[in-house]
Structure formats: C-alpha cells, structure tokens
Amino acid sequence: MRAAENYFKELTLARGIAILLAILGNSITTTPVDMKVTGGLLLLHNYIYSFHMHLFFVVSGCCLGLAKQERYIRVVEKKISRLLIPYLLFSLLFFCRYMFFDPYHLMPEIWSYIIHILLKGGEYWFIFVLFLFFIIYPVASFPAGKIGPVCNIFLLLLFAYFCRVFFSESLINHDAFYFLVYLAYFLSGYFVAPLVSSWLRNKQRMPPIVFWGALLLFLLMGRLDLRSHDVAVIIIIFTPFFGIVLAMRMAQFLAHTGFAKVFLWLGKWSLQLYLVEALIAVFVMYFYYDVMSVRHSLLFMLLFFLSKMVICYLLLEFGIGRLSILHKFCGVIRRKEAAL
C-alpha cells in the first residue's frame, strides 16, 4: 500500500474544479422552483452531473497511485480517520438537523436512515463509496502487469452495462451500475498515475486536437436524444472521460493564472466543503424560498450557490475547518518541492 509522496498542484486544482461543480450542480437540483422556466439551468445540470463525480474518483485514484509504499493496515487506519469518521459524524449531524429543522418534512424513519447510511451512503454517499474503494482496491486491481488493470476496468464497465440493460427495472440496478462505473474510473486514475506524473512533471501541454476533440464529443454526447436504451448506457459510461480530459486541461491552465489560489483552496477543503454544504443547504434554501420568497429560478440558484459558498468559507476558515480530524481528504498528497 501507499502513503503520501508526490505533489502536483494540478491535481488539487482538478479537485477544486470538481467540488465547485458539485456545489453548483446541487444548487440546481435542490432548487424548489420549476426548472422548465429556464431550460439552460437544466442543461447545465446535466453536463455537470455527467462527469463531476467521476472526476473526483479519478483524482483520488491518481493520488493513491502517486503515493509511496505503506502497509495496508496503516492505510486503512488513515482512511477510517479521514473518511469514515467524518462520514459517520456528519451523517449523525444531518439526522439531528432533520429532528430540529425539517421545514419540508423529509425526515426518514430512524432505523431506515441508519440502514441507509451503513449500506448505501446516505446524503454523503460519495465519502462512503470512496472509503470502500480504498479498502477493496488491492483486490480490484489484481492481477498486476500491463494487461491485468485494463482487463479489470473493462470487466467492471461490462458488468455495469449488463446491470443497467438487463435489470433496468430493479432498484438495485442504479446503485450497482454507478458503483461499478465509479470503481472503474477510480482504478483508471490509479493505473494512469505514472503517466499523469510524467505529463505534469515535464509540464507537457495537451495537444490542441485532443482538447478540442474532447470538448466537441462532450458537448455532442450531452445533447444526444437517444432512443436506444443500450446505446444510451454506453454514452453514460464513456461521456465522463471527455469531461475529465477537459477538467485536467483547465487545471493545467489555472495553475498559471491568478485563479489558482481560489481553486487550490477549494481543492484543499474539498471534503469539508462537501460535508458542510449539504448540511447548511436546507437553511439557505428556507431563507430565500420561504422567508424572502424568491421565485425566479436563475436568481434563486445564484443566491443559493453564492450564499452556500460564503457560509462554507467562513465556517471552514474560522470554525470547524480547524478540526484536525477533517484536515485531510482521500490521500491528499503533501507538497514535496522536488516532485514539482
């Protein structure tokens, strides 16, 4: 197993892009206004949700692949403190929020909620799934060699495809499908880490044809109205790849701009932002929708998004962000100047 060793700020920037997209996407999906009023928001949401979580998993796998050797049990201990404990703590806080402030009557039964967070991840499913990936990846990445990883990823995507196509009416199908797809992207990040390291260390730029080709395919796939369910599943599986390519190119570009500090901060606190944003969202929504009576969908989304970002910033910089137990996230790699 491995621990932190190499650092490339482009990976932190990519994670910053991912968390910003996640919060923006959540600001659209939780908007209590008819989204048909502004169809552009719905289109933006679809593009964001087509790849932003896959980007998280690829970067996490890549961080793991760039780390140095360490005992498996030691890595498990670290992931328990960095992922599992914050996950359980904030899941408990989320349920307490249901008990004391539930203006939209969404509170689940206590036992069903407990089962949900233990087996499916609850509101913080991403952290739950990521923790599982760090635990099972040695098995999922076997056998080693040049062909083994490729075969494993291919089989995962193949199983996901059959799960989606042949069990489309099953409730389990949705969770199993995305679990397999996310695991495939996590392993992809892990196995391509040496290539990413060489690419970033040598400061190589992405060929223009790759960038523009990825952009074109990403935009086209997001707009396809496919009648064939089988083909649609294939599009869902592979569209994130093009979005990830674009995000990595953007991270490389941001590294040389004044916006780098902003996205580095977002990347550094990505776990905490994910945890806190979900917890405070209902309070911000209630204020703008029920107290201020904001009904224009675009205005609501902008106020909702910006307010959550400001509140998260204040909380993380001057409040709970100081808790050491929440300081690191899924293999965030320590800065080593020699690796830059």
Distances (CA, A) of 123 to 91, 99, 103, 142, 275: 7, 15, 17, 31, 9
pLDDT tens per residue, range 178-191: 888 898 899 899 88
pLDDT tens per residue, range 255-291: 989 999 999 999 989 998 999 999 999 999 989 988 9
Give residue 5's pLDDT: 41
Nearest CA to 302 out of 61, 77, 91, 24 is that of 24
Let me know: does 283 contact 101? Beta carbons within 8 Å.
yes
**CA dihedral in degrees (91, 95, 97, 98; nearest 10)?**
140
Give residue 15's pLDDT: 95
Q: What tokens were used for 306?
A: 């910006």
Buried b vs exposed e over 51-67: b needs ≥16 C-beta within 10 Å?
A: bbbbbbbbbbbbbbbbb
Domain ranges of the chain: 2-333
CA distance 81 to 328: 9
Which percentage of the chain shows pLDDT scores above 90? 29
166, with CB counted inside 10 A (0-12, 13-18, 19+), is exposed
Residue whose pair of structure tokens reads 């289109």 in the numeric block? 43
The pTM of the whole model exceeds 0.75: yes
Tell me if residue 267 falls in helix, strand or coil.
Answer: helix
Which percentage of the chain shows pLDDT scores above 70? 78
Distances (CA, A) of 185 to 137, 316, 337: 12, 29, 28
Q: What tokens were used for 250?
A: 């953007």
At 197, the amino acid letter reads: S
pLDDT tens per residue, range 62-87: 988 887 767 778 888 888 988 999 89
Alpha helix positions (H), the chain: 9-29, 39-49, 52-65, 72-79, 85-100, 110-119, 125-140, 148-166, 171-191, 193-201, 208-223, 229-254, 260-268, 270-286, 297-318
Beta partners for 69?
2
Q: Pick the most confident of 90-104, 170-184, 233-247, 267-281.
A: 267-281
CA distance 56 to 124: 14
